[in-house]
């Protein structure tokens, strides 16, 4: 074997060693990156856990706010959302607006972290339900009429809820009145006349919101909401049978259990 061949063999061995060294280096870098990502994820989870713990401790503190001011803030939030429906596109959009953000901040201090309403739980879920109300109806308006505390820890607010029925309302709130989608052209649309009677009309509904307070913290533990749509439909349609067909809708408007 001449010197040239030996030199080429040495070069090949050296190249292989370099490739192996580079591969080991890349493996170490990938392992380091994975470990760092794992540690960052752990830190993120710990931070979220501490935030949640801090939030729960804050929720356990006794609020110095009166039930009346809490009720007032709830209806202020309703009025703000209904007055400016573009605020309600999503929860993130709501939080961009100063007045809404201030009200929500105050409500978070006044509500238990697991406050319930029907099958919903938590302040964020309640705000999401409010957002849906603002989208389901055209030009909704809420007028607080009376607030009373008949027994300690139970505050009842009565209001008028005026709304205009749109096609979106019919589709989301009264879906059983829509024309069958799978039917042929000749299939009878039995609810067509009912939709025409209601579309574009304004409903003036009685609304009752019951605030159940936690006796120890003074915070709202549960909300029970009932919006009486049926009587408003009766007045509008003048036909008990027609109104009963509307009232068979799943109760999106009554969240009391």
* Predicted confidence (pLDDT) per residue in 83-124, tens digit: 665 555 566 666 677 766 777 777 777 888 888 888 888 877
Question: pLDDT band for position 15 (50/70/90)?
Answer: confident
Average pLDDT of the chain is: 77
- Residue numbers of the domain that contains 221: 67-246
CATH number of the structural domain spanning residue 96: 3.10.450.50
Same domain, 117 and 171: yes
Q: Which of 60, 77, 104 is the last residue of a domain?
A: 60
Is 223 a domain residue? yes
> Do 142 and 159 form a contact (C-beta atoms < 8 A)?
yes
Same domain, 49 and 71: no
Same domain, 76 and 150: yes
Same domain, 156 and 228: yes
Same domain, 36 and 121: no
Is 254 a domain residue? no
Residue 99's Cβ-side half-sphere holds a number of Cα atoms within 13 Å equal to: 12
Tokens 């380091």 map to which residue? 32
Task: Determine the pLDDT at residue 199.
Answer: 87
> Do 115 and 209 form a contact (C-beta atoms < 8 A)?
no
pLDDT at 226 over 80: yes
Comparing 52 with 138, the larger pLDDT belongs to 138
The b/e string for 48-57 (b: 16+ C-beta within 10 A; e otherwise) is eeeeeeeeee
Same domain, 42 and 88: no
Comparing 206 with 215, the larger pLDDT belongs to 206
Is 142 a domain residue? yes
- Report the chain's terminal Cα–Cα distance, integer Å: 94
Task: Determine the pLDDT at residue 254.
Answer: 43
Please count the structural domains in the chain.
Answer: 2
Q: Which of 11, 26, 60 is the last residue of a domain?
A: 60
């Amino acid at each position: 074997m001449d010197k040239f061949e030996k030199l080429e063999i040495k070069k090949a061995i050296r190249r292989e060693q370099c490739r192996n060294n580079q591969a080991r280096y890349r493996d170490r870098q990938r392992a380091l990156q994975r470990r760092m990502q794992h540690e960052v994820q752990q830190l993120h989870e710990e931070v979220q856990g501490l935030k949640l713990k801090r939030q729960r401790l804050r929720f356990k503190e006794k609020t110095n706010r009166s039930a009346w001011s809490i009720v007032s803030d709830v209806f202020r939030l309703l009025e703000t959302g209904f007055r400016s429906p573009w605020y309600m596109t999503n929860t993130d959009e709501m939080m961009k607006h100063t007045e809404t953000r201030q009200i929500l901040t105050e409500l978070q201090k006044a509500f238990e972290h697991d406050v319930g309403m029907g099958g919903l739980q938590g302040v964020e879920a309640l705000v999401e339900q409010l957002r849906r109300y603002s989208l389901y109806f055209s030009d909704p308006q809420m007028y607080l009429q009376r607030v009373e505390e008949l027994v300690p820890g139970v505050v009842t607010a009565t209001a008028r809820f005026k709304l205009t029925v749109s096609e979106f309302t019919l589709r989301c709130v009264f879906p059983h009145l829509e024309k069958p989608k799978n039917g042929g052209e000749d299939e009878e649309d039995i609810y067509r006349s009912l939709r025409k009677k209601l579309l574009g009309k304004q409903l003036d509904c009685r609304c009752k919101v019951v605030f159940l307070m936690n006796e120890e913290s003074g915070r709202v533990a549960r909300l029970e909401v009932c919006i009486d749509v049926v009587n408003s439909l009766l007045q509008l349609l003048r036909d008990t049978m027609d109104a009963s067909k509307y009232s068979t809708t799943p109760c999106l408007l009554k969240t009391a259990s």
